[in-house]
Amino acid sequence: MPLRRVEHCIHLYNSHHQEEAVKKWKQALRKISNKQERFATLGYLAAAYCDWGKYRDMLIYSIHQIDLANEADNCYMRAEAYLNLARSNELLSDYHKAVCYCRHSLQNPPKDPRCHGYVYMCQGNAYFGFSKFTTAIENYERAMQIAAQTHDKALELQILGALGAFYITLHDTERGLSYHTKAADLAKGFNICDLGSKYQRVTTINMATPLRRIGRLSEALEYCEEAMKMAQEAGDRPVQAKCLTCYADIHRAKNEPEKAYSRYEAALGIMTEIGDRHGQCLVLSNMAKTLVLLKESQKVCDCQKRRKKTGESAYPKAIDLNQKALTVAIQIGNKLYQMRCHQRMEEHYRCLGDSDKAEEHQELAQRLLNEMELTCTICGTDFSHSDTQLEVMPCSHIFHARCTPLLMSRGSSRKRYCPRCRSSVINRPTLV
């Protein structure tokens, strides 16, 4: 494929003529014989379908890439192709395959030194999906080191976004907001008519989530509306789904369950379409919460008996939605979502007076909590429920921020060690 034609298609894509660019790339692909040019074109198509949220199509082009790389016996091609295979599987929540392909990519020397930075970030996302938080942090730190060495602001921005999601998931909302704010500020440095526009959409919707959680609903709504407008213009289905989820969260916070439920249903439809099973877990769980809220706030007969009956009828439906969320969480191996589903079902069964079922789910939730090491071993309490500030040690183990001063104040530096792995905690990592 002539270089001029390649540049023309890239210009079309970055000028918001994505469909035309993809059409031309596909046409060219049928005529290209040069393996390097064919490989590059397959990469452009994989990236385009990734931007659209068509992860299954991205996976197909990534498979074509690895076949071509093996045919050419080119290690540089393999490093990139395995990265695209890892990213497509990670986005489809197939975390086992994502980690496997990341390892294959790391075994091949890349032509671009930034490649392995993206591999470590993808691997961090996959381990985060597994709820292996310590390993996720270790990979994010390696990715950030490569971003700094190569001056790759796009990689740095994505790692900041991943860290924001990491802390928000573990209920350190303030720190999550600080990372998302850094990412949003960094995104402003990208020109709007390039791939940076994708980062602007993502960082904008990422700002809405922590703002909503700390009660700044008006600001969250503004970010959500801005992100939705950009996502609709670009045909970005993943960001549209995140916007709909955030809209629903805001409605639920405002005690508007009817509006919330319909937005969750719309978000679930898109996530099912694009294969975002991680997102499906979250939305199904929130639909269950909203259903209980809807029944509790529903206007019914003033008869107390009728009101009680209506409230109770919500729990079996909520349990069904949580069971669906649990099934998906088990399929993708996300222990945190599994635990939270069990915790919610414990509450529902207690409300229904079924103590046996409640205790069963309580035991399962506790077992998962222990497996994930979500307990601060300094004070002995877990940090999986309410908002609290967290601290990550150099070994990547996590503790309450309020507890770490006790650890750091121990006599000489030789006595300062991680309670989990016994490694030194003299210095803290610059990343987190």
Interval 61-76: pLDDT, tens: 999 999 999 999 999 9
**Stronger pLDDT, 301 or 328, i.e. the higher one:** 328
Q: How many beta carbons lie within 10 A of that of residue 171, not counting itself?
A: 16
Average pLDDT estimate for 156-168: 96
pLDDT at 242 over 50: yes
Q: Which long-range contacts (CB under 8 A, 24 or more apart) does 258-263 make?
A: 258/294, 260/286, 260/290, 260/293, 261/287, 261/290, 261/291, 261/294
Q: Which residue has the higher pLDDT, 32 or 59?
A: 59
The full set of domain ranges for the chain reads 1-111
Residue 4 has pLDDT above 70, yes or no: no
Task: Give the model's pLDDT for residue 309.
Answer: 45
Instruction: Determine contact, residues 69/102, Cβ cutoff 8 Å.
Output: no
Choose the weakest-confidence range: 6-10, 24-28, 262-266, 374-378: 6-10
Amino acid at 395: C
Q: How many CA atoms lie within 13 A of 327 on its CB side?
A: 7
Report which of residues 323 and 23 the model is more confident about: 323
Query: Please, how many CA atoms are within 13 Å of residue 159, restricted to the half-sphere of its CB?
Result: 27
Look at 23-32, 98-107, 289-298 and tell me which has the smallest mean pLDDT: 289-298
Classify domain 1-111 at the CATH topology level. Answer: 1.25.40
SS3 351: helix
* Side chain identity, residue 121: M
Mean pLDDT of the chain: 88
Q: Is the pLDDT of residue 366 over 80?
A: yes
Burial label for 330, CB within 10 Å (0-12, 13-18, 19+), is middle
Between 190 and 369, whose confidence is greater? Answer: 369
pLDDT at 329 over 90: yes
Q: How far apart are CA 124 and CA 7, in angstroms?
A: 32
Confidence grade of residue 275 (pLDDT, cut at 50, 70, 90): very high
- Looking at 100-114, 259-273, 324-338, 378-392, which range is the least confident one? 378-392
pLDDT tens digits, 172-214:
999 999 999 999 999 888 764 445 578 889 999 999 999 999 9
The pLDDT value given to residue 192:
45
d(CA 139, CA 125): 9
What pLDDT, on the 0 to 100 scale, is given for residue 411?
A: 54
Task: Give the start-end residues of each E strand in 213-261.
Answer: none
Confidence of residue 415 (pLDDT cuts 50, 70, 90): low
193 phi/psi in degrees, rounded to 5: -95, 45
The pLDDT of residue 129 is above 50: yes
Greater confidence (262 vs 294) lies with 262
**Predicted local distance difference test score (pLDDT) of residue 1:** 47
Across 104-113, 118-127, 196-205, least confident range: 196-205
- In this prediction, residue 255 carries a pLDDT of 93
Higher per-residue pLDDT: 377 or 194: 377
